[in-house]
Amino acid sequence: MTDLTPLCRLVILISGRGSNMQAIVSMIEEQGLPAQVCAVISNQIDAEGVNWAKERGLTTACISHRDFATRADFDQALLQEIDNYQPDYVLLAGFMRVLSPFFVEHYHGRLINIHPSLLPSFPGLRTHEQALQAGVQCHGSTVHFVTPVLDHGPIVAQSIIPVLASDTPESLSERVLATEHVVYTAAVRWLIQGQVHLDAQGKVQVKDLEQRSFYFHA
């Protein structure tokens, strides 16, 4: 019997280690989901995650932002490279670039990011330092549809951890990262299975999903 289910086409963008990308690739393989990671694209030539993806037999591409005079030029080249793969979803997994509004609009409803904080708290960089400084007792990560506003957009899922008296930015970062792998793989599975989508009003619609928060103990 031939399986005619079309594969969900994914392109993953990274800038470094790529542990979220690795978790997503492994989850798709292990769970036999109807999806294909068509390419892993990095803006850093020496990104650790690119080597992992190559060893895994995935198609990789590097487009260095340093080779372009303006942000818009880089984003246009990136968009053209991504569109070669005709993705259903573009997953930002530690992709450390601010994207132009035209790029974000082009992928409206198809561009997903993970951010290491409980958005809307602590957008931007050094989120774990920001959380400690604010004295919050819960911290975590957020998977969201990307909008032109940085680290903002309709929330797909969140992971939540307690902040401990002994926490440092490093310890928080390590504990949050472990939960990112759980929450991002779950969110990508829902997208692949058609359980989550962005509607015409910009709201997240879900099917057969009661809970989209993941709580972790210390």
Residues near ligand GAR, by CB under 6 A: 14, 16-20, 93-94, 114-116, 141, 151, 177, 180
Between residues 54 and 207, which has the closer beta carbon with respect to ligand GAR? 54
Q: Is 140 left (phi over 0), alpha (psi -120 to 50) or beta?
A: left
Catalytic site residue from 65, 106, 115, 139 = 115
Nearest approach in angstroms of CB 210 to ligand GAR is 25
Nearest approach in angstroms of CB 151 to ligand GAR is 6
- Residue 115 among the catalytic residues: yes
Between residues 44 and 82, which has the closer beta carbon with respect to ligand GAR? 44
33-61 burial: b if 16+ Cβ within 10 Å, else e:
eebbbbbbbbbbeebebbebbeeeebebb
Nearest approach in angstroms of CB 162 to ligand GAR is 18
Q: By Cβ distance, which residue is nearest to ligand GAR?
A: 94
182-214 burial: b if 16+ Cβ within 10 Å, else e:
bbbbbbbbbbbeeebbbeeeeebeeeeeeebeb
The answer on whether 20 is annotated among ligand-binding residues is: yes
Report which of 17, 15, 32 is spatially closest to residue 189, judged by C-alpha positions.
32
Q: Which residues are catalytic?
A: 115
Binding-site residue ranges: 18-20, 71, 113
